[in-house]
Chains A and B, each alone.
Chain A
């Protein structure tokens, strides 16, 4: 009985969370423009959505900015994570605090402060300012995804690679990077989704003629209800669902593999050290 009540309560909360989305999905197929009546099934709004120049161009902007900023943030962030992992004391504390500023700061403050900076630097608002802002708020999340993987990494692995004659770069590419790859990919996907989802920071740092999907939705929603937005919501919901399932499957797989891998890595490093003693010409 208690269990039934508990389940009912959670079910009610789920209804609250999903009902608006469900209504939008149903209405996106409604032929009648007025939301009160069901005018039959139609795909008209989807056709109009894909013919809408403003929406389509902001979709391309969103995807381009998302991909470019995620890639740039992943490169800078992964390097930074390796740096942080290998630093100690006040330097490490300082950089970690720097990392938490954009995560904890209200978005609107990050947005207006970047806007002031770009005006101050006399930059033209548009793609460049948008891209710089997105890279900025994405990097900390990449760092926070990569750092745990570095902590799991066996520290003797890198030394073993060097002992076996690898240069630092070669050791990074062939030994460190493959080991931390799951964290890097998670960071990349996280940065991409955050960039696509962002509204507030983009709103303050974009220029006329350049708008992301969120900005277009905001200006359309301010004018009231638009059936094209229902179709867009449906597509976005399905896209997010797909992405989350992929990320989740990856994580579950990593967790399962992670345990085995760290055991294996330990065995290998053990072997590596022993072999290194035998193989390194300088030591022989």
Chain B
């Protein structure tokens, strides 16, 4: 078929703007440019495993895991309720989850600055109610809150999509066979919803691990997360070799977590994003 040639411009474009740049990242990660030109080195990777940088990595993984766990705990019941019959206009409810997701990410994060400030809306509300005020802005709590706020819909939508496709007959069969609601949830609904949970976790964990905006605006300190570290290397310090090496370690971390997640996936179902 000659019509397959229509994808030629695209392939050339992607080779230049996606594949070649990734090779450049690998190249910079493994080379050191000295007086004799570029030479092969592993020094950049050795630096990544120094205690200060390992601590940043550990912290990023920790905060990302915490945000993902909170999203799952808060989001799963929402998906379950939406898939049930509590609401008659499901599409409208679904739409309501999508709308904030499409608002500018920066402005959504900025909104929390206004809310969490010392004299912000949240503390005003707490004071009016006679409750003690909270000051979590510029701490890890604020970073986790910002992540949960920004990524919660990414957890709810895939789980909802899987739950809403579960055959009602299976549930009837379970109850006919004597399972009460709890048992049928534990033995039927939960296992069937795992593919959705897996893609939800992936869709929350990945951006949470790599963000540098939320930590920069809501967190304290300069090297909060691995994303900030990479950003600093490229835009402030100018050490591309080290920046590239951290990026590669981050990609490997993501690939490992995706491999672990795919272990729990139903091999027949495959990944269903929505």
Contacts and interface: CB of A to CB of B under 8 A. Distances in A.
Interface of A: 3, 6-7, 9-10, 13-14, 16-21, 23-24, 27, 34-36, 76-77, 79-84, 86-87, 91, 95, 98-99, 101-102, 105-110, 112-117, 120, 132-133, 135-136, 139, 143, 168, 193, 196-197, 199-200, 204, 213-214, 217-218, 221-222, 224-225, 229-230, 232-233, 236-237, 240-241, 243-244, 248
Interface of B is mostly: helix
Given A9-B81, A229-B107, A20 B115 contact: yes
B134 interface: no
Instruction: Tell me what chain A mostly uses at the interface: helix, strand, loop, or mixed.
Output: helix
Contacts of A232: 107
B105, B153, B243: residue with the most chain A Cβ atoms closer than 10 Å: B105
B117 A225 contact: yes
B180 to A, nearest CB: 14
A222 B109 CA distance: 11
B77 interface: yes
B7 A80 contact: yes
B148 to A, nearest CB: 9
Contact of A7 (B86, B213, B216, B251): B86
A6 B81 contact: yes
B126 interface: no
A115 B234 contact: yes
Nearest to B218: A221
Contacts, number: 226
Contacts of A6: 81, 84, 86
Contact of A106 (B11, B95, B231, B251): B251
A24 to B, nearest CB: 5
Interface of B: 1, 3-11, 13-14, 16-22, 24-25, 28, 74, 77-78, 81-82, 84-87, 93, 95-100, 102-115, 117, 119-121, 124, 149, 152-153, 206-207, 209-210, 212-213, 216-217, 227, 230-231, 234-235, 240, 243-244, 247, 250-251, 254
